[in-house]
């Protein structure tokens, strides 16, 4: 049976209008489904309100003890529970989860590298596809916040794209999985300012060429790498782009 894992970025869930559209579109999607969300802008805004400075290195948040508190509150509480309540109102039996809940996604703290200590940031080790499949079989729709745990009592700030990929791969043994990364842009474009230059399909070979040509760069590179890794691990298809999902 087909299953969709949809990852939506912070920009989609942090704006009331696009959030309402997401809820309606996601509720209208047929079949079993999983939502993985970000929330970085809200975390940055909350940190600022609390007088804390946000430091990013290569798009990743340096997460000291205080910042871990902020992302735990914002991702696991504010953003996640709001989505859950809205989905319930739209007739979707949503269940908000972090990786710590039912131990569904385990990670380890990223070791300092090249002089950079990201702090309480997790690199994902595994997702419990069996547990998720059981929930899905009961009609429950997991809504996953970008937090995991190390099994030793520590929550870890975790990249939502990677979590979506890990969840999709873990579920590929139970379902024919379509993994979708929805964000502001239509997809991977030759010219980011021109939607007409959208690249409709990317294979492993294409990817290497597009990287060499500098077409795929910055934050798009790990996204496409995640996508290709998902395909290698049995995910049926990965789609990048298109905020409108239904």
Burial class (CB in 10 A: 0-12, 13-18, 19+), 228: middle
- The CA–CA distances, whole Å, from 142 to 7, 90, 119, 124, 149 equal 12, 15, 27, 18, 17
93 binds its own copies, rule: CB under 8 A: yes
- Return the beta strands (E) in the chain as ranges: 2-8, 33-37, 56-57, 60-61, 94-97, 105-109, 122-127, 141-144, 147-149, 155-157, 176-182, 237-240
Per-residue binding string, its own copies, 6-45, x by CB under 8 A, is ----------------------------------------
Contact with its own copies (CB under 8 A): which of 2, 77, 192, 195?
A: 77
Helix 220-232 vs helix 160-171: crossing angle, to nearest 10? 10
For its own copies, which stretch binds (CB under 8 A), given 79-87, 193-201, 206-214, 225-233?
79-87
Picking from 235, 216, 215, the residue whose alpha carbon sits closest to that of residue 225 is: 216
Picking from 137, 133, 144, the residue whose alpha carbon sits closest to that of residue 95 is: 144
Per-residue binding string, its own copies, 120-159, x by CB under 8 A, is --------------x---x-x------x-x-xxxxx----
Contact with its own copies (CB under 8 A): which of 24, 50, 56, 246?
A: 50
For its own copies, which stretch binds (CB under 8 A), given 74-82, 190-198, 225-233, 235-243?
74-82
For its own copies, which stretch binds (CB under 8 A), given 26-34, 100-108, 208-216, 223-231?
100-108
Contact positions vs its own copies (CB under 8 A): 46, 49-50, 69, 72-78, 80-82, 84-86, 88-90, 93-98, 100-103, 134, 138, 140, 147, 149, 151-155
């Amino acid at each position: 049976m087909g299953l969709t894992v949809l990852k939506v970025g912070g920009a989609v869930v942090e704006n009331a209008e696009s959030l309402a559209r997401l809820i309606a579109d996601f509720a209208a999607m047929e079949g079993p489904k999983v939502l993985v969300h970000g929330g970085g802008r809200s975390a940055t805004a909350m940190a600022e309100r609390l007088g804390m400075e946000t430091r990013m290195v290569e798009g990743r948040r340096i997460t000291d003890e205080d910042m871990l508190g902020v992302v735990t509150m914002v991702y696991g509480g504010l953003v996640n529970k709001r989505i859950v309540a809205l989905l319930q109102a739209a007739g979707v039996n949503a269940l908000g989860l972090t990786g710590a809940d039912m131990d569904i996604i385990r990670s380890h703290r990223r070791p300092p590298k090249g002089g950079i200590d990201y702090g309480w940031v997790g690199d994902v080790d595994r997702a419990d596809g069996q547990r998720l499949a059981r929930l899905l079989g009961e009609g429950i729709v997991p809504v996953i916040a970008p937090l995991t745990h190390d099994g030793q009592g520590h929550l870890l700030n975790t990249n939502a794209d990677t979590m979506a990929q890990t969840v999709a791969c873990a579920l590929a043994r139970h379902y024919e999985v379509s993994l979708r990364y929805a964000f502001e842009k239509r997809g991977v474009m030759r010219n980011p300012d021109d939607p007409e230059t959208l690249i409709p399909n990317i294979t492993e070979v294409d990817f290497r060429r597009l990287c060499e040509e500098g077409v795929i760069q910055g934050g798009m590179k790990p996204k496409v790498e995640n996508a290709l890794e998902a395909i290698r691990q049995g995910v049926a298809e990965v789609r990048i782009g298109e905020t409108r999902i239904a």
